[in-house]
């Protein structure tokens, strides 16, 4: 006869309500882990999108994501001539706020050269850029659709295609436009400012500037060797694809990663305390029954089983509810939430461990109950 | 068999004392108590509050350790200035049935499972335990309430189920703590008649602590406790 099961069955409403409360808490823990995974994935998505091997940026910087980088637009031609380089492309990156149908949208603009590395790897819907001006490919998370028109800077752009899952490390949807458009957007002065600069005699300045040059290399040469070749030029710095990914995960999103990690740890501690308190309270409610069980001859094993099994049932049901809930609502989160099976299993293991440890408080209380407490009024 | 001094007593206490605290704070709850209760007897343990009734019940129930003395239960010496067994819960499971003032049935088990629980603890298979539990419930005329939970039972029905639980493992000693305190006169009489039936048919000794004067007539023998002394041993 399983006493834990019988007790749960008798008070199933209260027990399920407790499990539901716990499931919300564990759901939050799981979603925090998912947000962390999403954060890293988002950061890497952007750097992996061009599918390149070497990133060339301004000397002394770790651009273009961790730091600002500006290099001349003709750098691409110099890089293209290096031994082992198969293809190169110039790119620009900038965050921008624009309005669409009266609503403010934060976008992350990537400028790239048509038919060169730097653009989106895959078009989910519509077509890639075909004209060198005023076309854009947006991520579907922006809410834009092919045919939509939107002002970027001083020009109206038309959406021609959509990508999927392309967001910046801060979660903003990525928009691809041509390099020339992006250079104008980033470097061209507004007419009044340009007139003022001309009046000062300094001209409007060259706008053939890019944030980075990306390149694909041959299988016969390593990315590090090409990067070393680039580093010989004093005005340039180079990073391999692996190095760029490390910069992103260990630098750009590091603080956010630590923040989420700390918050997740705190939530786990809070969950442990709450589970311990629930089990303690459940045990307190059963002191007379435990005293009776001891008096009529039940072993400590039977009593410990009653408490630990209930704690485990609560943890497992709570975790399952929580995982089910988060799995079904994860797409409604403002940021990407990635639930990986190994994270779920690790959390389930942690919950089971926490339940066993937390039930120690209830077990301790139960073992101290005097069987004589069952006698008398 | 009833009340026969020729057979060894089922409950036999010699020189049992119990004190709490030491020095100025010492309280002598029981002072050199001697007692014999035989198979088939229904015995009352009476006395004012604080006289040591519950302490004596706890000592016989192997819940509390005496300060000194000797106890034999169902022919086995269980205490001789020290416990003779290490597992006292097993001892209680084998030899003693308990009946409580407020039945103390487990609220999450129905009547049949409350009775079968003792048998499960004693190692019976589920089928055998249920068969025996049903047999006892029918014997105590509450078989029709076998699926009812304690909260669904009347006071008298709950106490009958509690008696069935006390008898489940065929103990020969039944300790009852105010078994009729929560019942009216009619139901108290029925419960005492049942205990009498159990004592004679199961050849058991029943020791009941009570303040309930309306059931004094049902006892074969009454022990009076006053200030830790067993007195007025009237038969």
pLDDT, tens only, A63-101: 788 888 889 888 999 999 999 899 999 999 999 998 898
Strand partners, A167: A173
Q: How far is A14 from chain B (nearest CA, A)?
A: 13
Task: Supply the pLDDT for residue A377.
Answer: 47
Contacts of A1 in chain B (CB under 8 A): 109, 113, 116-117, 120, 126, 129
> In this predicted model, what pLDDT tens digit does every residue of B21-50 receive, in sequence order?
888 888 888 888 899 999 899 999 988 888
Q: Could you tell me the two tokens for B29?
A: 């709850």
Q: Which domains does chain B have, with CATH numbers?
A: 38-63+88-234 (3.40.50.300)
Residues of chain A that touch chain B, judged by Cβ-Cβ distance less than 8 Å: 1, 3, 6-7, 9-11, 288-289, 292-299, 302, 370-372, 374-377
> In this predicted model, what pLDDT tens digit does every residue of A350-370 receive, in sequence order?
889 988 888 888 899 899 988
Residue A46 — pLDDT band, cuts 50, 70, 90? Answer: confident
Identity of the residue in B63, B90, B117 whose CB atom sits nearest the CB atom of A372: B63
Q: How far is B208 from chain A (nearest CA, A)?
A: 12
| CA distances (Å), origin B36, targets A19, A125, B43, B222 | 53, 95, 10, 11
Do B93 and A295 make contact, defined as CB atoms within 8 angstroms? Answer: no
Task: Supply the pLDDT for residue B141.
Answer: 81
Dihedral (CA of A353, A359, A363, A365) sign: positive
- Pairing outcome for strands A149-152 and A174-178: unpaired
The answer to whether residue A264 scores a pLDDT higher than 60 is yes
Task: Supply the pLDDT for residue B157.
Answer: 87
> In this predicted model, what pLDDT tens digit does every residue of A221-259 receive, in sequence order?
999 999 999 999 888 999 999 999 988 887 777 788 788
Task: Supply the pLDDT for residue A138.
Answer: 94
Identity of the residue in B89, B107, B177 whose CB atom sits nearest the CB atom of A376: B177
- Report the residue of chain B nearest A371, measured CA to CA: B63
Residue B2 — pLDDT band, cuts 50, 70, 90? Answer: very low
The answer to whether residue A293 scores a pLDDT higher than 80 is yes
- Report the residue of chain B nearest A9, measured CA to CA: B108
Calculated CA dihedral for residues A178, A182, A185, A187, nearest 10 degrees: -140
Identity of the residue in B93, B126, B181 whose CB atom sits nearest the CB atom of A297: B93
| CA distances (Å), origin B151, targets A259, B110, B181, B188 | 51, 9, 18, 19
Do B63 and A302 make contact, defined as CB atoms within 8 angstroms? Answer: no
Q: Mean pLDDT throughout B61-70? A: 90
Do B177 and A299 make contact, defined as CB atoms within 8 angstroms? Answer: no
Task: Supply the pLDDT for residue A242.
Answer: 92
Residues of chain B that touch chain A, judged by Cβ-Cβ distance less than 8 Å: 54, 57-58, 61, 63-64, 89-90, 92-94, 98, 100-102, 104, 106-109, 113, 116-118, 120-122, 126, 129, 149, 165, 177-178, 181
Q: How many Å apart are CA B116 and CA B129, to the nearest integer?
A: 5
User: Any idea what DSSP says for residue A190?
Assistant: P
Q: How many Å apart are CA B137 and CA A173, to the nearest integer?
A: 72
Q: Could you tell me the two tokens for A72?
A: 């001349």
Q: Could you tell me the two tokens for B90?
A: 């097993």
Task: Supply the pLDDT for residue B6.
Answer: 65
Task: Supply the pLDDT for residue B177.
Answer: 86
Q: How far is B89 from chain A (nearest CA, A)?
A: 4
Averaged pLDDT of chain B: 85
> In this predicted model, what pLDDT tens digit does every residue of B172-194 receive, in sequence order?
899 988 888 777 787 788 888 88
3-state secondary structure (DSSP) of residue A320 = helix
Q: Mean pLDDT throughout A315-324? A: 93
Task: Supply the pLDDT for residue A156.
Answer: 92
Q: Parse chain A into domains and list their residue ranges.
A: 3-43+255-374, 49-252
Can you give the three-state secondary structure of B122-143, one letter per residue? CCCCHHHHHHHHHHHHHHCCCH
Identity of the residue in B94, B98, B108 whose CB atom sits nearest the CB atom of A6: B108
The side-by-side arrangement of strands in the sheet containing B42-46 is: B96-99, B173-177, B205-209, B42-46, B221-226, B229-234
3-state secondary structure (DSSP) of residue A154 = coil
Q: Helix axis angle, A300-329 relative to A3-10, nearest 10°?
A: 50
Chain A interface disruption, residue of B91, B100, B175, most A CBs within 10 A? B100
Contact B10, B39 (CB under 8 A): yes
Q: How far is A377 from chain B (nearest CA, A)?
A: 6
Q: How many Å apart are CA A258 and CA A260, to the nearest integer?
A: 5
> In this predicted model, what pLDDT tens digit does every residue of B194-215 receive, in sequence order?
888 888 888 889 999 888 888 8
Contacts of A376 in chain B (CB under 8 A): 54, 101, 177-178
Task: Supply the pLDDT for residue A127.
Answer: 93
Q: Mean pLDDT throughout B105-123? A: 91
Task: Supply the pLDDT for residue A375.
Answer: 73
Identity of the residue in B64, B100, B120 whose CB atom sits nearest the CB atom of A1: B120
Identity of the residue in A7, A372, A377 whose CB atom sits nearest the CB atom of B108: A7
Residue B232 — pLDDT band, cuts 50, 70, 90? Answer: low
Q: Mean pLDDT throughout A288-297? A: 88
The answer to whether residue A58 scores a pLDDT higher than 90 is yes
* DSSP calls for A271-339: HHHHHHHHHHHHHHHTHHHHHHHHHTT--HHHHHHHHHHHHHHHHHHHHHHHHHHHHHHGGGSSS----
Do A377 and B178 make contact, defined as CB atoms within 8 angstroms? Answer: yes
Contact A134, A156 (CB under 8 A): yes
Contacts of B64 in chain A (CB under 8 A): 372
- Report the residue of chain B nearest A12, measured CA to CA: B108
**pTM, rounded to two decimals:** 0.74
Residue A312 CA, chain-centre distance (Å), reads 31
The answer to whether residue A197 scores a pLDDT higher than 70 is yes
Identity of the residue in A6, A288, A296 whose CB atom sits nearest the CB atom of B118: A296
Contact A169, A253 (CB under 8 A): yes
Task: Supply the pLDDT for residue A205.
Answer: 63
Task: Supply the pLDDT for residue B1.
Answer: 39
Contacts of A288 in chain B (CB under 8 A): 104
The answer to whether residue A203 scores a pLDDT higher than 70 is no
Q: How many Å apart are CA A182 and CA A191, to the nearest integer?
A: 17
- Pairing outcome for strands A135-139 and B229-234: unpaired
Percentage, residues of chain A above pLDDT 90: 38
A and B: number of Cβ contacts within 8 A: 82
Burial class (CB in 10 A: 0-12, 13-18, 19+), A43: buried
Task: Supply the pLDDT for residue A170.
Answer: 80
Contact B97, B171 (CB under 8 A): yes
Chain A interface disruption, residue of B103, B121, B178, most A CBs within 10 A? B121
Percentage, residues of chain A above pLDDT 70: 98
Q: What is the CB neighbour count within 10 angstroms for residue A198?
A: 12
Residue B233 — pLDDT band, cuts 50, 70, 90? Answer: low
Identity of the residue in A292, A372, A377 whose CB atom sits nearest the CB atom of B106: A292
Q: How far is B1 from chain A (nearest CA, A)?
A: 27
Identity of the residue in A3, A11, A295 whose CB atom sits nearest the CB atom of B98: A295
3-state secondary structure (DSSP) of residue B181 = coil
- Report the residue of chain A nearest B179, measured CA to CA: A376
Q: How many Å apart are CA A206 and CA B17, to the nearest integer?
A: 107
Chain B interface disruption, residue of A9, A282, A375, most B CBs within 10 A? A375
What is the gyration radius of the CA atoms in chain B, in angstroms? 18
Contact A233, A90 (CB under 8 A): no
Q: How many Å apart are CA B14 and CA B28, to the nearest integer?
A: 17
**Residue A63 phi, psi dihedral angles, 5° rounding:** -75, 180
Q: How many Å apart are CA A296 and CA B99, to the nearest integer?
A: 10
């Amino acid at each position: 006869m399983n006493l834990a099961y019988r007790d749960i069955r008798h008070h199933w409403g209260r027990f399920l309500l407790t499990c539901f409360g716990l499931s919300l808490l564990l759901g939050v823990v799981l979603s925090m882990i998912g947000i962390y995974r999403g954060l890293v994935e988002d950061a890497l998505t952007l750097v992996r999108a061009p599918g390149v091997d070497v990133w060339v940026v301004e000397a002394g910087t770790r651009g273009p994501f961790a730091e600002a980088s500006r290099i001349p637009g003709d750098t691409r031609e110099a890089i293209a001539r290096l031994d082992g380089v198969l293809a190169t492309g110039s790119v620009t990156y900038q965050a921008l706020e624009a309005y669409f149908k009266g609503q403010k949208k934060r976008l992350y603009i990537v400028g790239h050269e048509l038919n060169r590395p730097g653009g989106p790897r895959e078009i989910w819907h519509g077509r890639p850029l075909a004209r060198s001006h005023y076309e854009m490919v947006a991520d579907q998370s922006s809410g834009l659709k092919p045919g939509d028109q939107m002002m970027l800077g001083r020009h109206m752009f038309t959406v021609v295609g959509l990508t999927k899952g392309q967001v910046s490390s801060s979660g903003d949807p990525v928009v691809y436009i041509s390099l020339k458009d992006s250079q104008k957007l980033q470097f061209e002065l507004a007419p009044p400012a340009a007139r003022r600069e001309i009046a000062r005699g300094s001209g409007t300045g060259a706008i053939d500037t890019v944030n980075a040059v990306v390149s694909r290399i041959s299988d016969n040469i390593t990315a590090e060797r090409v990067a070393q070749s680039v580093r010989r030029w004093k005005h340039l710095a180079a990073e391999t694809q692996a190095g760029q990914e490390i910069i992103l995960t260990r630098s750009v999103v590091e603080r956010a990663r630590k923040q989420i990690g700390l918050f997740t740890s705190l939530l786990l501690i809070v969950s442990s305390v709450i589970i311990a308190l629930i089990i303690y309270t459940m045990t307190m409610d059963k002191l007379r029954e435990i005293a009776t069980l001891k008096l009529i001859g039940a072993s400590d094993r039977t009593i410990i089983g009653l408490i630990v099994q209930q704690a485990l049932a609560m943890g497992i049901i709570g975790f399952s509810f929580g995982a089910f809930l988060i799995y079904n609502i994860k797409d409604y989160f403002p940021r990407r939430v990635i639930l990986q099976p190994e994270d779920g299993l690790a959390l389930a293991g942690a919950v089971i461990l926490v339940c066993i440890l937390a039930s120690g408080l209830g077990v301790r209380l139960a073992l101290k109950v005097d069987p004589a407490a069952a006698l008398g009024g | 068999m009833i009340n026969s001094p020729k057979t060894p007593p089922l409950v036999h206490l010699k020189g049992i004392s119990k004190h709490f605290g030491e020095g100025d704070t010492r309280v002598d709850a029981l002072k050199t108590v001697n007692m014999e209760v035989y198979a088939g007897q229904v015995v009352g343990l009476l006395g004012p509050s604080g006289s040591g009734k519950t302490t004596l019940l706890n000592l016989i129930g192997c819940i509390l350790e005496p300060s000194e003395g000797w106890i034999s239960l169902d022919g086995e010496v269980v205490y001789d200035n020290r416990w003779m067994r290490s597992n006292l819960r097993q001892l209680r499971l084998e030899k003693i049935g308990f009946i409580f003032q407020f039945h103390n049935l487990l609220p999450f088990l129905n009547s049949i499972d409350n009775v079968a629980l003792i048998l499960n603890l004693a190692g019976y298979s589920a089928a055998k335990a249920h068969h025996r539990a049903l047999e006892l419930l029918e014997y105590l005329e509450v078989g029709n309430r076998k699926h009812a939970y304690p909260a669904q039972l009347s006071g008298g029905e709950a106490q009958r189920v509690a008696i069935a639980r006390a008898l489940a493992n065929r103990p020969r000693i039944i300790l009852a703590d105010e078994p009729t305190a929560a019942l009216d006169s009619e139901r108290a009489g029925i419960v005492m008649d049942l205990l009498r039936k159990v004592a004679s048919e199961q050849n058991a000794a029943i020791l009941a602590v009570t303040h309930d004067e309306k059931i004094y007539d049902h006892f074969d023998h009454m022990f009076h406790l006053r200030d830790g002394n067993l007195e007025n041993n009237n038969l």
